[in-house]
Amino acid sequence: MPPWQLDWQQPWFAPLRTLGEPLLAQIRQGASVAQALNSALQAQPIHLPAGDLRFVAQTELPAGMGFEAFVHSQAAVPTRDNWHDFFHGLIWLQQPQLKARFNAWHLEALVADEAGPGRRGPMRDALTLFDENGLILQAPAPLAEALRERDWTALGGSLRPLWRQARWQVVGHALLEKLLQPRKPICAHVLLDASVLEDPLRLRQKPFFALPVLGIPGWCAANEHLDFYRDPGVFRPLR
């Protein structure tokens, strides 16, 4: 069992603080992660086609049944007592429509058997990548273009003032888990056009851009110096 301590002042956790801090307090007092998440649903239930969403112990997932199929048929999310599933639950609570849409698309891809038994295929692969590691970035055009071109010194230097106009949202629960121990190489799969999340045909093309997230101004004091971005092992040039 992890110690369940979290610095909510970190910029990547701060948007989840109002939702997550009371739940984490319950866990520290002995509640399971599923129980804590379910307490939030009492005030604001999430309605899915199979019923109202609930979080259940991982042991309720039948052997041989896929995770997404279980969520779809039971309106229940198998949940372990770890950080990964805590953040997964928080994103469900914060972004229920997006998570429900992703679940439906997973099932559509499974029914279509797009990749054959035991394989994910392009649609489910794209869904998994973004669900685990995604970040939505609304940025002024020059910033967006510099990210596409991997012009890191421009992103951290001449274009740095434009970051004040940018808006970002972490979607990936595994990304949040990794940021419990922030390290310079941690990258997000960044989506610059949120409308892609409403179009499975566009999403399956994986229109993501890699961004070492500690390069976002305000996320790391060291990135105030341009040399931070001159590390080709992390801030890699465009091939």
Residue closest to 74 by CA, chosen among 95, 102, 103: 103
Residue closest to 165 by CA, chosen among 134, 144, 187: 144
Q: What is the pLDDT of residues 32-44, one digit of tens each?
A: 999 999 999 998 9
Q: What is the pLDDT of residues 97-151, one digit of tens each?
A: 999 999 999 999 988 765 455 567 899 999 999 999 999 999 999 999 999 999 9
Q: What is the mean pLDDT of residues 29-56?
A: 96
Q: What is the pLDDT of residue 119?
A: 63
Q: What is the pLDDT of residue 110?
A: 84
Q: What is the pLDDT of residue 213?
A: 98
Q: What is the pLDDT of residue 229?
A: 97
> pLDDT at residue 188 above 70?
yes
Residues 123 and 200 sit within 8 Å (Cβ to Cβ): yes
Q: What is the mean pLDDT of residues 82-86?
A: 98
- Residue 44: count other Cβ atoms within 10 Å of its Cβ: 9
Q: What is the pLDDT of residue 112?
A: 77
Q: What is the pLDDT of residue 2?
A: 67
Ranges of beta strands (E only) in the chain are: 47-48, 51-52, 54-57, 76-79, 134-138, 167-170, 187-191, 209-212
Sequence-ordered list of residues with C-beta below 8 angstroms from that of 168, at least 6 positions apart, any chain: 135, 136, 137, 138, 216
Q: What is the pLDDT of residues 206-222, one digit of tens each?
A: 999 999 999 999 999 99
* Tokens representing residue 152 in the block: 């890191």
Strands 134-138 and 209-212: unpaired
Q: What is the mean pLDDT of residues 40-54?
A: 95
